[in-house]
Amino acid sequence: MKYKVIKKQNSGNSCVVCGVNNELGLKTSFYELENGELVAICDTKDWHQSYPGRVHGGMSAALLDETIGRAISINDETIWGVTVSLDIKYKKPVPTDATIKIIGRITSENRKLFEGSGEIILPSGEIAVTATGKYMKMPVEKITDGELTSEEWKHVEDKEKLEYIEI
Ligand SMILES: CCCCCCCCCCCCCCCC(=O)SCCNC(=O)CCNC(=O)[C@H](O)C(C)(C)COP(=O)(O)OP(=O)(O)OC[C@H]1O[C@@H](n2cnc3c(N)ncnc32)[C@H](O)[C@@H]1OP(=O)(O)O
């Protein structure tokens, strides 16, 4: 199904998942959709592998962790979270040199904590990895030990603006 993109989220500078200047990172982009979910798009590379041709499970976990953790800011971009627990199920291998999508959503929330779930979707449309995670809400200054600079957290325009994403 095709979903309208409401907003592209900001990117980090050095983050292993979203850092635009982390040459070995996953350089993932995040889009808020009309259905209230967050979708991430990532081009996997051979330096993300465990076994040849297969993305390292830790990379898949990091992608799901960040996608679920970012989904909380769809409704309020001042809320940030740190991961308290993450449960991952690896159902199919994720290939290197492929464009994959990662979906994240919030399933419950209170004053201190939020929980969410997500999936990694292969180019074939199959679900390869699923996750549920729990996060504690924290002010960003407390997480980073300082101010959020425009270098560390910024909007990066796509070469071609994505209007819709097919999931
Ligand atoms: C800036 C630019 C960046 C660019 C970059 C991009 C980033 C874009 C965003 C990405 C989105 C995030 C995605 C990645 C996020 C990580 O990767 S974060 C890194 C991994 N996680 C961490 O480092 C967390 C490490 N753990 C901790 O710091 C501490 O254990 C915690 C989680 C803060 C908890 O601290 P604590 O001292 O245990 O807290 P404590 O005061 O005891 O508990 C507070 C309350 O929470 C409850 N609680 C504590 N633990 C739990 C639990 N496991 N379950 C239920 N309740 C609990 C307690 O019962 C307590 O409740 P009350 O009794 O007060 O009612």
Every domain of the chain and the residues it spans: 2-166
- What are residue 99's DSSP bridge partners? 43
Which candidate, 91, 84, 86, 79, places its Cα nearest to that of 63? 86
Give the C-alpha separation, 3 to 1, whole Å.
Answer: 7
* CATH T-level assignment (fold) for domain 2-166: Thiol Ester Dehydrase; Chain A (3.10.129)
For ligand 1, the distance from its centroid to the CA atom of residue 56, given in whole angstroms, is 25
Q: pLDDT tens for the chain, 167 residues: list them.
A: 999 999 999 999 999 999 999 999 999 999 999 999 999 999 999 999 999 999 999 999 999 999 999 999 999 999 999 999 999 999 999 999 999 999 999 999 999 999 999 999 999 999 999 999 999 999 898 998 877 899 999 999 999 999 999 99
Listing DSSP states for 85-101 in one string gives EEEEEE-SPPBSS-EEE
Does ligand 1 lie within 6 Å of residue 21's CB atom? no
For the CA of 138, the closest atom of ligand 1 is 33
What is the pTM (predicted TM-score) of this model? 0.95
Q: What per-residue confidence (pLDDT) applies to 148?
A: 84
Q: What per-residue confidence (pLDDT) applies to 145?
A: 80
Q: What per-residue confidence (pLDDT) applies to 88?
A: 98
Query: What is the token pair recorded at 111?
Result: 């004053």
Does ligand 1 lie within 6 Å of residue 79's CB atom? no
Does ligand 1 lie within 6 Å of residue 136's CB atom? yes
For ligand 1, the distance from its centroid to the CA atom of residue 84, given in whole angstroms, is 5
